[in-house]
Amino acid sequence: MTTPATWFVTGTSRGLGLELVRQLLEAGHNVTATTRSTERLTEALAGVDTSRLLALEVDLADETAVADAVRRTTERFSRLDVVVNNAGYGFLASVEDTTDADARRMFDVQVFGVWNVLRAVLPIFRTQKSGHVVNVSSVLGLVSVPGWGLYCAGKFALEGMSEALAAEVAEFGVKVTLVEPGYFRTSFLTTDSLALPTSTTEGYEAIRQMTDDHLNLQGSQLGDPVKGAAAIISLVASGDGPLRRLLGSDAYSYATGKVRALQADIEAGRELAHSTDFPQS
């Protein structure tokens, strides 16, 4: 990765995205940072040299707005090297208590918004025969737990799309990385970033208790966002490595547990799987 490289980062007003922008600017890179509030972003970057920053308020669900943001990036910095799809928020509710509007809003950000960004940047990457897409997923894109059904659905979709994308664009010299963080000590578990259902159904007391437990977890998460952002920059700088990269010891524990459980399920279904084939002649 050359310096300065040009990065396009979504979801930058707080948390991991904000820390990533800060470190990129301090390293001398060009950064387009999309956010819901450029005022909040610039206030959070007080003391940082922002002469290489292009801060834009963009509705990621608006394909035209996203394309315009990418166009403004290349006009300002003359190139584009790295895209980080980081925008997102949490949602804690039972599947039954998740409304159609809740689901569509989540997918607009976590899936369709990412797709809008990719449609805008991939022609550039293919033409220049280089580029790196970093899709920030979650360990909950590998493991699903009660209460996180909607959030996990969005991240599972992102994982599937990213895996296909990586194989599709490899021949053009374009790299794809899925970053799968665990719980990081950001504002993700506050009501600023964690959405809750408008109403709840009786009988899901365990999920309501789990919601309270998560809100109380704020401030004691294991993951350090400073180290997490530095790890993302390092992964891109190395230009190598596997598709999926876990961040956090908790993420590693969740993921390895899921692999063992999945392997057990597969082996338990071995006889059934083979029984549905046509007879071998």
Query: Per-residue confidence at 198, pLDDT binned at 50, 70, 90?
Result: confident
pLDDT for the residue numbered 205: 83
* 121 found inside a domain: yes
pLDDT at 188: 61
pLDDT above 90 as % of the chain: 77
Is the residue at 192 inside a domain?
Answer: yes
178 found inside a domain: yes
User: 0.85 exceeded by the pTM?
Assistant: yes
Alpha-carbon gap, residue 47 to 43, rounded angstroms: 9
pLDDT surpassing 70 at residue 186? no
For residues 138, 141, 145 and 147, what is the CA-based torsion angle, rounded to 10 degrees?
80
> What pLDDT does residue 14 have?
83
Question: By residue range, what is the domain housing residue 126?
Answer: 6-268
| Residue 281 lies inside a defined structural domain of this protein | no
Q: What is the pLDDT of residue 222?
A: 73
What's the confidence (pLDDT) of residue 76? 98
- Top pLDDT among 6 and 249 is at 6
CA 59 to chain centre: 16
Distance separating alpha carbons of residues 246 and 168, to the nearest angstrom: 23
Q: Residues of the chain with pLDDT > 70: what percent? A: 93
Calpha distance 120→6 (Å, rounded): 15
pLDDT of the residue at 62: 97
Question: Per residue in 46-101, pLDDT tens?
Answer: 999 999 999 999 999 999 999 999 999 999 999 999 999 999 888 989 999 999 99
Calculate the alpha carbon distances from 185 to 64, 220, 232 in Å: 34, 7, 16
Over residues 152-167, the pLDDT tens digits come to 999 999 999 999 999 9
Q: 175 in a domain, yes or no?
A: yes
Using the predicted structure, report yes or no on whether residue 190 has a pLDDT greater than 90.
no
Long-range contacts of 108-112 (CB under 8 A, 24+ apart): 108/60, 108/61, 109/60, 109/61, 109/154, 110/154, 110/155, 110/157, 110/158, 111/154, 111/157, 111/158, 111/161, 112/60, 112/61
Sign of torsion, CA 19 20 23 29? negative
Is residue 275 a part of any domain in this protein? Answer: no
Mean pLDDT of the residues in the chain = 92
Domain annotation covers residue 177:
yes
The pLDDT tens digits of the residues spanning 200-244 come to 888 888 888 877 776 776 666 677 889 999 999 999 999 888 999
Active site residue ranges: 137, 151, 155
**Is 45:24 a contact under the CB 8 Å cutoff?**
no
Amino acid at 77: F
Residue 65 lies in a domain: yes
Assign residue 106 the CATH number of its domain. 3.40.50.720
SS3 call for 91: strand
Cα 41 from Cα 33, distance rounded (Å): 9
Total number of domains constituting the chain: 1
Give the whole-angstrom CA distance, residue 277 versus residue 219.
53
* Alpha carbon 158 to chain centroid, angstroms: 8
Mean pLDDT of 142-159: 95
